Structure 1
């Protein structure tokens, strides 16, 4: 798939703007007991989710489209050492979720927004840690340089889009969290262990682009 092919698919499968809608996918999807608890709660009983946005950067390379990911610094107080998309919490001065994602990407890895073409949004993703993440899909032109903020990011690396979009590479793993057995998506790639919300959003991207399109 070329970048132009992907651009056409994205424009067809994704809304240009994301409405202010509650999360419709998340960590609870693989955990029936968690999902049942959510459904029993009224809107007023549910803890307020904190808004955040991430950029899913799809990079055009001569050898094929790549996805830019980061490994978080081991010194961070939360999610230390985990693989993630560049992104973070919404700040008062942000114009919209895309602006949040672009600002955080510039701050974390130095990818200038002039290289990024916003192609659409995934549905909001609810995490077990209380965030409503808005995934923003961006097409990234070549020619950019990265400047890593070592306080937040240990490294930035690229993974082939074709690998991440292959359902055979989507695994379900399990762990005990807060005293309960929890299931989550994982996409191991070489020495990198992509899991949790990041893997869940990649699975959602694959389903939106390819699985839902074939139904």
Structure 2
């Protein structure tokens, strides 16, 4: 009897946790924004790393051709740090240092996975040169900001507003899901496990 009562309490706890986590799960399942990590590599070990946050309702996926995204609309936030091994310097930039971003995809990409290399029908996304265009993704510095900018080729940025060392984007991947998602998942599985447990035979 005591064990049955303990199991009942555990079941009630799991149910309460389950329904408490539903609002958090709903926010995770249909977020207003999505965040990504981006990495670039360049000559002699130069590298750059960024975080990008997009507005899911405005971001075009697919873009069906080259689309230009604007800060404050499709792009919610952007933060970039450049490590220049040639000059031995580290520089940081924010969204206000850029006035446009370009995005190009003729098919819908899976934004929950690494984007670079995803199959698009014409090879992997970001793996082909686009002559005379900015390519599948690029950034454009605000004049006078000194931030890295498109050098006119696919997936390339160049330091010093496009005049310096060229770097190639090597990764465009989503930021992992927040802890609320895992809380919801663990609560759900705990509830299922207890509800499936067969009652033990009572001793007479």
TM-score, normalised relative to structure 1: 0.26
Pick the structure with greater CA Rg: 2
TM-score, normalised relative to structure 2: 0.27
